[in-house]
Amino acid sequence: MAGRLSTIGTRIAQSIPVILGVVVVSFVLTRALPGDPAVYFAGAAADEASIAEVRTALGLDKPLPEQFLIYARDVATGNLGQSLSTGQPVLEDLANRLPASLELTLTALMLSCAVAIPLGVLAATRPGSAVDHLCRVLVTAGVSLPTFFTGVVLIYIFYYLLGIAPSPLGRLDFIYIEPDRITGFYLIDAALAGDWETWVGALKQLVLPAVTLALFTMAPLARMTRAAMLSALSSDYIRTARAAGLTEDKVLFTYAFRNALLPVITTLGMVFSFTLGANVLVEKVFAWPGIGSYAVEALVVSDYAAVQGFVLAMALLFVALNLVIDLTYTLIDPRIGFETK
């Protein structure tokens, strides 16, 4: 157990150089702008004075290592600069909009896990069956679907043709009152407030974007589950378990599925990466007021501080998610603690 604890410690410590790397890359991106970064950061409407002001604020008149230190200090203290378009500090904007993105992303992920993992397991246990073929089609079609295109098609079918979906504009139709902000997740906040009408309204808005995102992430998950399950089922220890007369349920779940889960959890990291990226596109399609659409709006008006703040925030979020995945893995796989001993 001591080995396990120290492994967890090591894993957490290992994410420090990664965070450092992320900050370095992010710094390079802000300074790699062709031309004078100060001009970019000050925005199109800036005059000489405000450009000079930005230059001093960013420390652009100092040598690079010193600039990096200033940048690192700013990041550490949460100073990501001012957004030109909203006039607010970037960090504040991101914090305000993050719950919307998380609500969408997490709902989509839960949805896709709930469909993809059982589907992959079923496909692996019945190779060549209808479920298996369905799984294959879904997997190949799923990775070929551009998320933004899926979103557009779903809007056309469910909003324009069938009229059962609400208009694809944001998190809540204007007829509902926004729930009091507690977590920032409308579904949770509305439930906490006991306002079920708003809850249903928020859910209606959430369904299409979440399905769009889930369709995209289902494919890699189902594919990996199927492959991991197949390889687990063909392994020697399954043969041993069968030779010992264990029931098929025991063989499938306690023996095969738990082993198959390990590579699936590893894949989740990649899936998160895809989801966070696709999130940007889905938010734009559905006018979802998350950090993705914030970044897209900022890109259009060349609001560099906002864009780079968004990239950095996404990376840190992803590092945190990966850490959670790693820790989960450590808890499930007993072999991990052993390697580092």
Partner 1 sequence: MSLLSINDLQVSFKTRRGTVNAVRGLSLEIEKGETLGIVGESGSGKSVTSYALMRLLESNGRISGGALSYGGIDLRHAKESVMRDLRGREISMIFQNPRAALNPIRKVGHQIEDVLRRHAKATRSTARAEAIKALEAVKIRDPEARYNAYPFELSGGMCQRIVIALALACDPKLLIADEPTTGLDITTQKAVMDLIADLIAERGMSAMVITHDLGLAAQYCNRIVVMKDGEIVEQGDPKRLFTAPEHPYTRKLVDATPRSGASVRSLLPAEQRTPAPELPVSETPLLEVRDLTKTYQGKSGPVHAVKGISFKVMKGQSVGLVGESGCGKSTTSSILVRLTDPTSGEILFNGEDLAKTPAGTFARDPRRAAIQMVFQDATDSFNPRHTARHSIAEPLKRLTGLKGKALKDRVEELADLVGLPRPLLDRFPHQLSGGQKARVGIARAIAVEPQFLILDEPTAALDVSIQAIVLNLLVDLRAKLGISFLFVSHDLHVVRLLCDHVIVMRDGEILEEGPAAAVMDAPAHAYTRELLAAAPEPPALAETLSSAAE
Partner 2 sequence: MSDTATRAEALKQQDGALAHIAYVLRSNPVTLLAFAMFAVLLLAAVLGPLIAPFDPLQTNASNALQPPSFTHWFGTDNLGRDVFSRVIVATRLDLAISIAAVALSFLVGSVLGSLAGYWGGWLDAVLNRVFDTIMAFPLFVLAMGIVAALGNTVENIVYATAVINIPFYARLVRAEVNIRRDAGFAQAAKLAGNSDVRVLALHIFPNALPPMMVQVSLNLGWAILNAAGLSFIGLGVRPPTAEWGIMVAEGANFIVSGEWWLAIFPGLALMFAVFTFNLLGDGLRDIVDPRQRS
Q: Which one of partner 2, partner 1, none interacts with residue 240, CB within 5 to 8 A by kind?
A: partner 1
DSSP 89: B
Is residue 9 within the footprint of partner 2 (CB under 8 A)? Answer: no
Choose which of 31, 62, 250, 284 interacts with partner 1 (CB under 8 A): 250
Output the CA torsion 79→81→82→84 (10° steps).
Answer: -160
Determine the Cα–Cα distance for residues 302 and 308; give it in Å rounded to an integer.
Answer: 11
Closest CA to 276 of 333, 320, 245, 238: 320
CA distance 244 to 257: 18
Contact pattern for partner 1 over residues 112 through 151, marking x by CB under 8 A: ---------------x------------------------
Figure out which of the listed residues 246, 316, 319, 327 binds partner 1, where binding follows CB under 8 A.
246
297's CB contacts (< 8 A; 6+ apart) are 85, 303
Tell me which residues in 311-340 interact with partner 1 (CB under 8 A). 332-335, 338-339
Closest CA to 293 of 165, 185, 148: 148
Here the tokens at position 120 are 């992959």
Q: How far does Cα 228 stand from its chain's mean position?
A: 23
Among the listed ranges 9-17, 94-102, 253-261, 294-302, the one in contact with partner 1 (CB under 8 A) is 253-261
Q: Are 91 and 80 in contact (CB under 8 A)?
A: yes
Cα dihedral across residues 80, 82, 86, 92: positive or negative: positive
Interface of this chain with partner 2, residues 116 to 135, rule: CB under 8 A: 127
Our CB check for partner 2 shows the closer of 14 and 254 to be 14
Q: Cα(254)–Cα(238) distance, rounded to whole angstroms?
A: 10
Q: How far is CA 283 from CA 28, 99, 189, in A?
A: 27, 13, 21
The nearer residue to partner 1, 120 or 337, going by C-beta atoms, is 337
State which residue, 126 or 181, has the beta carbon closest to partner 2: 126
**Kind and range of the H or E element at 34?**
none
| CB 11 to partner 1: min, Å | 17
Stretch 139-168: interaction string toward partner 2, x if CB under 8 A:
-xx-xxxxxxx--xx-xx--xx------xx
Complex with partner 2: residue 199 or 286, whichever CB lies closer: 286
**Encoding tokens for residue 127?**
């190779």
Give the binding range for partner 1 (CB under 8 A) out of 33-41, 237-245, 270-278, 283-291: 237-245
How far is CA 126 from each of CA 40, 109, 122, 129, 324, rounded to the nearest angstrom?
Answer: 58, 25, 6, 6, 32
The residue ranges that bind partner 2 (CB under 8 A) are 17-19, 21-22, 24-26, 29-30, 32-34, 127, 140-141, 143-149, 152-153, 155-156, 159-160, 167-168, 230, 272-278, 280-281, 284-285, 295-296, 299-300, 304, 307-308, 310-311, 314-315, 318-319, 322
The residue ranges that bind partner 1 (CB under 8 A) are 127, 235-237, 239-248, 250, 254-255, 258-259, 262, 332-335, 338-339, 341
